[in-house]
Structure 1
Amino acid sequence: MSKYAVKIGIIGGSGLDDPNILEGRKEEAYETPYGPPSDVLISGKIRGVDCVLLARHGRKHTIMPSNVNYRANIWALRAAGCTHVIASTATGSLQEDIPPGCLVVLDSFVDRTRVRSQTFYDGEEGSPAGVCHLPMEPAFCPDTRQVVVECARELGLDFRPTGTCVVIEGPRFSSLAESRVFRAWGGHVINMTTVPEVVLAKEAGLCYCAVAMATDYDCWKERDVVTVNDVLTTFRKNVSKVISLFTLVVPRIAARNWDATIDSLKETVRTSVMLPHK
C-alpha cells in the first residue's frame, strides 16, 4: 500500500491547455506566497486518475515566457496535492534528425535565461527558510521519464527518448549565430519555458517530466524562417500525439508505487538546504 496518493499535474503549453481532456472538471483559484498562478487549476480525472490541469501561459495565452509566474504555478500544483507533473512544450529543433512533429522526452537542459526566479528559498517572508543548493542531475525525474518513454514506444510515436533543451529568455526567437552556437553545444531542441519550471518542480519535491514537440527547425537551416503561425500550426496538427501519450501515461503512473522515488526526491531537497546559523 503506497503512502502517497498519486495526483498528476499537467502543465499545458501552446495547444495543450484544453480542459476537455478531463472528466468531472472543477475549477479552483489558488493564491500562493508568490502570487497567483497563470490561471485557475482545473481538476478532474483521466481514466479514473486524479489530475490537475494548468495552462502555463493562461488559457488565452496572454502571458509571455518571462512573465509566467513559475513559482506560483508549481507551488499551487503541490498545494493541490500533486505528486507528479508532466508538461508539454513547443520547441524548435536544433538537429536534422528531429523533424517537426517529433517528440523528445527531455533529460537535461542548458539555461540561457537571465531574469527569472529559480528558487522558493529567496529569503523573503512566507518563503521556506534557508538557501537551497539543489543538484540538477538528474534534472528530470528518471522514473517518470521511463514511464513516458515506455508509453511512447507502445504507441509507436516518432520520438527521441532523451534530449537536451536550450532554454532562452525570449520572447524573441534566436539569431542565426545563436542558433548555430546552440547546435554546436549539443542542444537538441530550444524553447523559452523549461527553466525554471523543471528546477522549481524538483525543489518542490514533485516528479517532473517534460515532453517537447519540435515545431520547426529554428533558424539554423538558413532557408527556414520561424514564424508564430507556423509553430502553432505544427503543434495543433500534432497535438493529438501528446494527448494520446499523456492519456496512456497517467494511468501507468498511477499503477506504480512511488514511495521510494518521492522519498528520495524529498531527501535530496532536504539535504540541499542550508539553514541559517543559530
Structure 2
Amino acid sequence: MDRIGVIGGTGLISIDIKGQHQDFLLSKNMSVVRIDDINAETEFGIVPLRCITIDYEGTPKELIFLQRHHNQGDANKPPHMINHKANIKALEASGCEIIVSVCSTGTMVKDFPPGKVALADQYIDFTGVSTSYNDTFAVFTSVTEPFSLELNSKLEVSLRESQNFSPSEKMYYTYWLAHGPHFETRAEVDAIERLGGEMVGMTMAREVKLANELNIPYSAICISSNWAAGREPGDPSAELSHEQVSSQANERLDPVIHSILSLLD
C-alpha cells in the first residue's frame, strides 16, 4: 500500500512514529522524511489531517492520520457529536487506498482482557441512529462482511507476532456500538453480551458503514482498554474513568503502530 488512512481516537490520541518507533522503522528500512498538517475541505465540513511521508527503500509511502475527536485543535469532541461523514470523505479525497481505525474498547469476555490488541470482524449497531451518505436516493450497501478480510488477515499476522500469540489465540471479536458519551450500566453490558457483543465502543461502526459505501477497505484494530461496567474482577461496582481508559489504551500502541507500518511493505 502506498497511502493509508489511519483513524485515531481514545486509543491513539496522536501519532508520533518518528519519535516513539524509530527503531522499528529502521528495522524495516523505513524513515520519516516529511510531516505536513493540512485542513481537508469536504462538503460536510473541514477536517484536520496529518500527512506523514515515509521513505521505504527509495519509494515514498504515506500515512494520513485523522483524529476522529478533532475539535478546534484539541481531541475532545464527544463521540455522539463526531462528524463521521466529513472524516471519511476527507480520507477518500486524500486518496487513501485503505483505512485502518484504532479503537479503545471495553471488554466483557475473558479471552479479550485489558491490554490485548485484536481485530473486529463484525459489529452490532442497535442505536437507531442512521449514518449514511445516501440520504436522498435509496442505495442499499451490503455489509455481510463489513471489515476487509484481506486487510484483517495481514494485520493479524503482525499483531500475533508483536504480542507473541500462539496460532490458537483468538484474534477477532464482535464490536457493539453504544450511544455514548456515557459508559454503559452493568445491566446494559449483560444484555450486550447476551445479544452477541464481545467488546463495546462509541464510534467505530459508523465509520465502517461509510467506508463501505465508498468502497474503501476498512479494518479496526481494537485495544482492550478496560473491563466493561460490572466486569472488573473482584469489584463489579468499579467506576469507569475516561482518563484511565485512554491511558491504558495508549500504553499498547507498539503492536498497533507496528501492524500499520507492516502494511507499507
**Quick check: 1:168–1:192 contact (8 Å CA) kept in 2?**
yes
State the shift of 1:233 in Å.
2.1
Query: TM-score, normalising length from structure 1?
Result: 0.80
Partner of 1:163, secondary structure, is strand
| Cα offsets for 1:72-92 (capped at 9, x unmatched) | 111010100011000100000
Tell whether 2:161 aligns with 1:154.
yes
Does residue 65 of the first structure (1) align with residue 79 of the second (2)? yes
Alpha-carbon distance in structure 2 between the residues aligned to 1:242 and 1:82? 19
Distance 2:74 2:164 in 1: 29
Q: Which residue of 2 aligns with 1:179?
A: 189
Name the residue aligned to 1:143: 150
Name the CA shift for 1:28/1:157 in 2 (closer, same or farther; >3 Å).
farther
Q: Could you tell me which residue of structure 2 aligns to residue 251 of structure 1?
A: 264
Equivalences for residues 173-252 of structure 1 within 5 A: 173-221=183-231, 222-248=236-262, 250-252=263-265
Which residue of structure 2 aligns with residue 50 of structure 1? Answer: 62
Contact between 1:46 and 1:247, CA under 8 Å: does it hold in 2? Answer: no
In 2, Cα distance between equivalents of 1:143 and 1:212: 17
CA distance, structure 1, for counterparts of residue 245 and residue 197 of structure 2: 19
Q: 1:41 aligns with which of 41, 49, 52?
A: 49
* Distance (whole Å) between structure 2 residues aligned to residue 19 and residue 153 of structure 1: 22
Distance 2:255 2:220 in 1: 14
Contact 1:122 1:131 in 2 (8 A): yes
2: CA distance, partners of 1:220 / 1:46: 44
Distance 1:183 1:135, change over 3 A: same
What are the Cα deviations for residues 75-123 of structure 1, in whole angstroms up to 9, with x where unaligned? Answer: 01010001100010000001122110111210000103334x5111112
Instruction: Name the stretch that deviates more: 181-190 or 151-160.
Output: 151-160
> Does the aligned pair in 2 maintain the 1:47–1:251 contact within 8 Å?
no
TM norm structure 2: 0.84
Preserved CA contact (<8 Å) 1:104 1:162: yes
Tell me which amino acid in the other structure corresponds to 1:144. Answer: L
Give the count of matched residue pairs.
238
Secondary structure (helix, strand or coil) at the match of 1:88 reads: strand
Q: Could you tell me which residue of structure 2 aligns to residue 25 of structure 1? A: 35
The one of 45, 66, 88 equivalent to 1:74 is 88
The verdict on how the C-alpha distance between 1:193 and 1:142 changes in structure 2, with shifts beyond 3 A counting, is same
Percent of aligned pairs with the same amino acid: 26
Q: CA deviation at 1:239?
A: 2.2
Segments of structure 1 that go 5 or more residues without pairing to the other structure are 124-129, 253-278
Task: Compute the displacement of 1:224 (Å).
Answer: 3.3
More strand by share: 2
Deviation for aligned residue 1:44: 1.7
Unaligned 5+ segments in structure 2 are 19-31
Counterpart secondary structure, 2:16 = helix
Contact residue 158 and residue 255 of structure 2 kept, 8 A:
no
CA RMSD of aligned residues (A): 1.8
Show structure 1 runs of 4+ deviating over 6 A.
Answer: none
